[in-house]
């Protein structure tokens, strides 16, 4: 634990590649990521959103997973029982798509292979590719407790899924029924409402005439889906629509076949203003129509099958049977035209339902499926939000969460894919349903209730989001009463992208409250979506996708992390990702690398870690940087607590680079500051590196170990405590004055083109010996022939104001004129304000006082500038 200084010298140039791999291996080897539940300490738990088994690291992980790593590392250093729980999702539809494609190349189908062989193959595939993303995460420096990694299809998690299903079924919250569902023909499965995208597309609105059965004109309806005409069971008009009142109750013939007659009915759901004001009713293929059908007791024949082809299995489809839905559409339109039944057609832009996963156009179909009743589950989830037990950052996501839950509909949970949790439901020969956690239990129930143990299992699997919905407790061993479950449920925050608030977050809240009695996390942090620099979505097809692994290769993981964190704005819904930010971050790492090299090379050597000289010996510069360190610790911690990663990163970079390096480190080169510099510099660097560690874990570790330090790794070093950093506001203000003076002198020097480096001695007024340090500091920073000035004054400010650069008089005068003009403007503004009785009467007292002070200051400065100008004239 002694202050061992690394004897090896750091290389002059920071090379992340060499050190990141080595450091990560050591962390893992020594088990630093691992944590055991400890009720004695505050828990800090983050459940990692399990990436898909098919997944690869992408920039989205940068904005959602980096913050999780940051927060876990931060809280570990705070001394919390901090753990980041990793996992992997079986991603049913995505994985099955990959597998089927792979099998197709071998001429294989799922059915030909059979379920057991297929699942074996799927497992083998999952085992082979499931670890890829973990290695990528490690490359990014992510440190979850790998030993606790869970897969949604693990035995334990699968048992939990079955238990949840069975319990919900027995509580009447899961049921089986024939409903209109979203059928994805390409994926050959149903998908939930939340997995359907609405995409605006150009389409055609056809006006189709349905001739009257009595030989009359009949009625014209507008439709975008002529192929479903075949399954029409009625024409609906608004009950108050005068145009059609006479037709209500009559019958019209379904074109183009004209083999069936259907009634004209009245329903309030019809919008008189749209199209012709008459709508065809096709209950089996449209949600609105389904509702109308229910209200009027209409039949609901299907005319489209699971392959999205026209079928005559339930109703006559004439020559169209067997055609693909889109082919049937054009054929029917053509036949209508020929028959003179196409009254009109117009271009029409509308939203088409598309499967989020496969992109295929969703076919609403009537189908026997499993559903989860949502209203009873949504109520407590809404209450949790409204009562503040669940909070969103940024808050606006809470309002969309609320709106979604208020209008939630039952969740179709069964899928027709094979890769997933097979629904624990069995059917007796007479069709009775038996739901049980195991087959044995199911047989026992069947024997008891149905007089026989002959059972056939439901072939469907559960929606992937069903198993991830119970993730926060299933991974902790539920339903077993584990120590992990006791200590680590609920977790502290869920961090994710906005795209899965409904799919995942809301369901975790509902199921977490239902099964565990409390919300799974009090905070939900929603990261912005990452776009390219032009604001376009990153996609392979656009060719604008950036592989984070490439960025790590070029800039290092730390630079990637800093680069993306720095672009995160808490209220922003997007990040326009600029790779240049990673390059800057690499330069930043190089900068602090060299700052540490400088410290290590100090002739006097560095003392034991975190030991400061006695207070009286501290210089102005020391006091300033320590005060700034104190403030940075407070600010940085506060920003992290508020998930404001952009500003947090900004603040630590600013401190490190623009204050510690540009000013303090330079100040230590001034001889008057040499006595205390080693310990103060070591102290400041040590603290700043610890602040930096959560966001740039590798370089902070390497440099911290190179400096005097306590402990084996920065990962478990304590978080900087502002109370241990001495603060001296007066000294800090004095140093700020020195900075302002230096900046003024540098400006004068640059504008006068003075490049020579004459270091002048400067006198200090009698009795002001303690100003010697200020003068020396100014000279050190701004040496460039400072000679003029009165070198007097009663205050440091006046003394410093006397510094000037010996310059070309004309240039100096021009500068003074410019300065005087600016000051006159400020004086006028302040005077006008103060002369306004309304201002003095109504503005806050401190504002008025401050305004007077400012005015005073401006007047003093102006007077000085004017007298300087006058002096110049006299001089001539």
Partner RNA sequence: GGGCGGUUAGCUCAGUGGGAGAGCGCUUCCUUGACACGGAAGAGGUCAUAAGUUCAAUCCUUAUACCGCCCACCA
Which residues between 252 and 291 bind RNA (CB under 7 A)? 269-275, 277, 279-280, 286-288, 291
Query: Exactly one of 389, 391, 578, 768 binds RNA (CB under 7 A); which one?
Result: 578
Distances (CA, A) of 341 to 225, 510, 807: 15, 51, 94
* Euclidean distance between CA atoms 46 and 186, whole angstroms: 36
Contact positions with RNA (CB under 7 A) in 118-157: none
Q: How far is the CB of 584 from RNA (least distance, A)?
A: 5
The secondary structure of 713-734 as a DSSP string is -GGGSPPP-GGGS---HHHHHH
**Residue 539, exposed/middle/buried by CB under 10 A (0-12, 13-18, 19+)?**
exposed
Beta carbon nearer to RNA, 487 or 585: 585
Query: Exactly one of 104, 135, 246, 351 binds RNA (CB under 7 A); which one?
Result: 351
Contact positions with RNA (CB under 7 A) in 532-571: 533, 535, 537, 567, 569, 571
DSSP 713: -
Contact positions with RNA (CB under 7 A) in 773-802: none
The secondary structure of 8-76 as a DSSP string is SPPPSS--HHHHHHHHHHHHHHTTTT-----TTS-EEEEEPPPPBTT----HHHHHHHHHHHHHHHHHH
Structure-token pair, residue 151: 């897969």
Query: Which phi and psi angles does 870 have, rounded to 5°?
Result: -60, -45
Could you tell me where the DSSP H helices lie in 752-844? Answer: 772-782, 796-801, 809-835, 837-842
Beta carbon nearer to RNA, 296 or 591: 591
Nearest to 414 by CA among 196, 175, 151: 175
Contact positions with RNA (CB under 7 A) in 70-129: none
* Euclidean distance between CA atoms 557 and 136, whole angstroms: 11
Q: How far is the CB of 554 from RNA (least distance, A)?
A: 11
* Euclidean distance between CA atoms 658 and 654, whole angstroms: 5
* Euclidean distance between CA atoms 38 and 484, whole angstroms: 9
Q: How far is the CB of 754 from RNA (least distance, A)?
A: 9
Instruction: Please name every residue paired with 352 in a beta bridge, in sequence order, or none if there are none.
Output: 199
The answer to the question of residue 580 lying near RNA (CB under 7 A) is yes
The answer to the question of residue 67 lying near RNA (CB under 7 A) is no
Nearest to 72 by CA among 716, 722, 724, 522: 716
* Euclidean distance between CA atoms 514 and 516, whole angstroms: 6
Cβ atoms of 649 and 695 within 8 Å: the answer is yes
Beta carbon nearer to RNA, 354 or 447: 354
Query: Exactly one of 396, 448, 617, 817 binds RNA (CB under 7 A); which one?
Result: 396
Which segment (121-129, 140-148, 833-841, 868-876) binds RNA by CB under 7 A? 833-841
Q: How far is the CB of 655 from RNA (least distance, A)?
A: 12
* Euclidean distance between CA atoms 165 and 175, whole angstroms: 10
The answer to the question of residue 482 lying near RNA (CB under 7 A) is no
Beta carbon nearer to RNA, 40 or 844: 844
Beta carbon nearer to RNA, 431 or 837: 837
Contact positions with RNA (CB under 7 A) in 160-199: 193-194, 197-198
Beta carbon nearer to RNA, 484 or 659: 659
Beta carbon nearer to RNA, 346 or 724: 346
Nearest to 492 by CA among 1, 5, 67: 67
Q: How far is the CB of 293 from RNA (least distance, A)?
A: 12
Contact positions with RNA (CB under 7 A) in 428-447: none
Query: Which phi and psi angles does 799 have, rounded to 5°?
Result: -60, -50
Beta carbon nearer to RNA, 27 or 781: 781
Q: How far is the CB of 369 from RNA (least distance, A)?
A: 17
Beta carbon nearer to RNA, 198 or 448: 198
DSSP 786: B
The answer to the question of residue 835 lying near RNA (CB under 7 A) is no
Query: How big is the chain by its Cα radius of gyration, in Å?
Result: 37
Residue recorded with tokens 């334990």: 156
Q: How far is the CB of 411 from RNA (least distance, A)?
A: 12
Contact positions with RNA (CB under 7 A) in 616-675: 646-647, 650, 654, 657-658, 661-662, 665-666, 669-671
Cβ atoms of 774 and 624 within 8 Å: the answer is no
Q: Give the distance, in angstroms, between the CA of residue 254 and the centroid of all CA atoms in the same chain.
A: 52
Q: How far is the CB of 861 from RNA (least distance, A)?
A: 9
Beta carbon nearer to RNA, 81 or 276: 276
Binding mask 812-831 for RNA (x = CB under 7 A): --------------x--x--
Query: Exactly one of 1, 347, 616, 844 binds RNA (CB under 7 A); which one?
Result: 844
Which segment (25-33, 366-374, 436-444, 581-589) binds RNA by CB under 7 A? 581-589
* Euclidean distance between CA atoms 705 and 4, whole angstroms: 9
- Omega of the bond leading into 490 within 30 degrees of 0 (cis): yes
Query: Exactly one of 324, 360, 584, 831 binds RNA (CB under 7 A); which one?
Result: 584
Contact positions with RNA (CB under 7 A) in 209-248: 221-225
Nearest to 529 by CA among 561, 497, 505: 497
Query: Exactly one of 117, 758, 760, 847 binds RNA (CB under 7 A); which one?
Result: 847
Beta carbon nearer to RNA, 548 or 556: 556
Could you tell me where the DSSP H helices lie in 230-365? Answer: 287-296, 325-338
Beta carbon nearer to RNA, 792 or 795: 795
Beta carbon nearer to RNA, 17 or 30: 17
Residue recorded with tokens 């609320």: 402
Distances (CA, A) of 184 to 101, 103, 191, 305, 308: 17, 20, 7, 11, 9
Q: How far is the CB of 303 from RNA (least distance, A)?
A: 15
Structure-token pair, residue 339: 């028959």
Which segment (54-62, 250-258, 466-474, 584-592) binds RNA by CB under 7 A? 584-592
Beta carbon nearer to RNA, 338 or 601: 601
Question: H or E element: which one contains 846?
Answer: helix 845-875
Binding mask 747-766 for RNA (x = CB under 7 A): x--xx---x-x---------
Q: How far is the CB of 396 from RNA (least distance, A)?
A: 4
Binding mask 586-605 for RNA (x = CB under 7 A): xx--xx--xx-xx--x-x--
Could you tell me where the DSSP H helices lie in 475-516? Answer: 483-488, 507-516
* Euclidean distance between CA atoms 189 and 360, whole angstroms: 11
Q: How far is the CB of 219 from RNA (least distance, A)?
A: 12
Q: What share of the chain is helix, strand, coil (3-state, %, to 5)?
A: 50, 15, 35
Helix (H, G, I), strand (E, B) or coil at 309: strand
Query: Exactly one of 400, 482, 676, 788 binds RNA (CB under 7 A); which one?
Result: 400
The answer to the question of residue 499 lying near RNA (CB under 7 A) is yes
Structure-token pair, residue 456: 């056939």
How many amino acids of this chain bind RNA (CB under 7 A)?
96
Beta carbon nearer to RNA, 193 or 710: 193
Q: Give the distance, in angstroms, between the CA of residue 391 and the centroid of all CA atoms in the same chain.
A: 15
Beta carbon nearer to RNA, 129 or 783: 783
Contact positions with RNA (CB under 7 A) in 1-30: 12-14
Q: How far is the CB of 261 from RNA (least distance, A)?
A: 20
The answer to the question of residue 854 lying near RNA (CB under 7 A) is yes
Query: Exactly one of 331, 379, 457, 746 binds RNA (CB under 7 A); which one?
Result: 746
Q: Which residues contact 850 (CB under 8 A, 6 or more apart)?
A: none
Q: How far is the CB of 194 from RNA (least distance, A)?
A: 7
Beta carbon nearer to RNA, 154 or 402: 402
Beta carbon nearer to RNA, 87 or 646: 646
């Amino acid at each position: 634990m002694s202050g061992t200084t690394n004897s090896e010298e750091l290389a002059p140039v920071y090379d992340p590649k060499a050190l990141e791999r080595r450091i990560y291996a050591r962390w893992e080897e020594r088990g630093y990521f691992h944590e055991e539940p400890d009720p004695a300490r505050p828990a800090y738990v983050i459940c990692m959103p399990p990436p898909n088994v098919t997944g690869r690291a992408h920039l989205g992980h940068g904005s959602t997973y980096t913050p999780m790593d940051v927060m876990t590392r931060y809280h570990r250093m705070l001394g919390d029982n901090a753990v980041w729980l990793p996992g992997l999702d079986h991603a049913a539809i995505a994985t099955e798509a990959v597998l089927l494609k792979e099998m197709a190349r071998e001429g294989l189908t799922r059915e030909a292979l059979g379920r057991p062989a297929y699942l074996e193959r799927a497992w083998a595939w999952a085992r082979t590719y499931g670890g890829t993303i973990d290695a990528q995460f490690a490359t990014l420096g992510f440190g979850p407790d790998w030993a606790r990694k869970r897969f949604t299809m693990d035995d334990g998690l699968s048992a939990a899924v079955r238990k949840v299903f069975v319990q919900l079924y027995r509580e009447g919250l899961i049921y089986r029924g024939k409903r209109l569902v979203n059928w994805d023909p390409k994926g050959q499965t149903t998908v939930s409402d939340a997995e359907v995208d609405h995409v605006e597309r150009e389409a055609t609105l056809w006006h189709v005439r349905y001739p009257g059965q009595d030989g009359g004109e009949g009625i014209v309806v507008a439709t975008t889906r002529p192929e479903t005409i075949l399954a029409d069971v009625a024409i609906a008009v608004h009950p108050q629509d005068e145009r059609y009142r006479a037709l209500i109750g009559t019958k019209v013939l379904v074109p183009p076949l004209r083999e069936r007659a259907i009634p004209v009915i009245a329903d309030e759901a019809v919008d008189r203003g749209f199209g012709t004001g008459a709508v065809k009713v096709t209950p089996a293929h449209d949600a609105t129509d389904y509702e109308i059908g229910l209200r009027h007791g209409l039949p609901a024949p299907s005319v489209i099958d699971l392959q999205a082809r026209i079928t005559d299995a339930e109703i006559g489809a004439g020559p169209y049977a067997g055609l693909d839905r889109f082919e049937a559409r054009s054929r029917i339109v053509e036949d209508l035209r020929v028959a003179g039944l196409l009254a009109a057609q117009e271009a029409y832009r509308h939203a088409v339902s598309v499967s989020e996963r496969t992109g295929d156009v969703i076919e609403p179909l009537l189908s026997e499926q499993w559903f989860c009743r949502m209203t009873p589950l949504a109520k407590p989830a809404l209450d949790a939000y409204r009562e503040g037990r669940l909070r969103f950052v940024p808050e606006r996501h809470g309002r969309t969460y609320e709106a979604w839950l208020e209008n939630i509909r039952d969740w179709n949970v069964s899928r027709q894919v094979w890769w997933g949790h097979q629904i624990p439901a069995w059917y007796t020969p007479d069709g009775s349903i038996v739901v049980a956690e195991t087959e044995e239990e199911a047989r026992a129930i069947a024997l008891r209730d149905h007089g026989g143990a002959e059972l056939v299992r439901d072939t469907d699997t559960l929606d992937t989001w069903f198993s991830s919905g119970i993730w926060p407790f299933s991974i902790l061993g539920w339903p077993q009463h584990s120590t992990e479950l006791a200590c680590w449920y609920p977790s502290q925050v869920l961090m994710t992208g906005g795209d899965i608030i409904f799919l995942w977050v809301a369901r975790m809240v509902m199921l977490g409250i239902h099964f565990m009695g409390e919300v799974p996390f009090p905070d939900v942090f929603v990261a912005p979506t990452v776009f390219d620099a032009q604001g376009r979505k990153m996609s392979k097809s656009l060719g604008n996708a950036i592989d984070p692994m490439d960025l790590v290769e070029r800039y290092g993981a730390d630079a990637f992390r800093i680069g993306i964190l720095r672009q995160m704005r808490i209220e922003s819904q997007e990040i326009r990702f600029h790779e240049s930010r990673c390059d800057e971050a690499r330069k930043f790492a190089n900068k602090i690398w060299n700052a540490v090299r400088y410290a290590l090379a100090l002739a006097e050597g560095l003392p034991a870690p975190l030991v400061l000289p006695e207070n009286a010996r501290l210089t102005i510069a020391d006091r300033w940087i320590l005060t700034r360190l104190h403030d940075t610790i407070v600010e940085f911690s506060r920003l992290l607590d508020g998930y404001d990663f952009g500003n947090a990163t900004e603040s630590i970079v600013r401190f490190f680079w623009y204050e510690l390096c540009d000013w303090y480190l330079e100040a230590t080169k001034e001889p008057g500051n040499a006595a205390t510099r080693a310990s103060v510099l070591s102290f400041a660097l040590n603290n700043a590196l610890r602040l930096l560690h959560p966001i740039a874990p590798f370089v902070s570790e390497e440099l911290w170990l190179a400096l005097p330090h306590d402990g084996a790794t920065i990962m478990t070093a304590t978080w900087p405590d502002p109370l241990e950093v001495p603060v001296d506001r007066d000294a800090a203000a004095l140093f700020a004055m020195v900075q302002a003076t230096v900046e003024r002198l540098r400006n004068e020097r640059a504008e006068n083109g003075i490049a020579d480096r004459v270091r002048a001695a400067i006198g200090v007024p009698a009795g002001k010996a303690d100003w010697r340090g200020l003068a020396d500091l100014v000279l050190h920073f701004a040496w460039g022939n400072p000679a003029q000035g009165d070198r007097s004054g009663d205050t440091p400010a006046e003394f410093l104001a006397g510094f000037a650069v010996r310059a070309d008089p004309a240039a100096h005068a021009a500068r003074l004129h410019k300065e005087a003009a600016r000051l006159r403007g400020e004086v006028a503004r302040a005077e006008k304000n103060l002369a306004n009785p309304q201002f003095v009467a109504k503005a806050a007292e401190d504002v008025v006082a401050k305004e007077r002070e400012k005015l005073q200051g401006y007047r003093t400065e102006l007077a000085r500038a004017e007298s300087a100008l006058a002096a110049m004239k006299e001089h001539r």
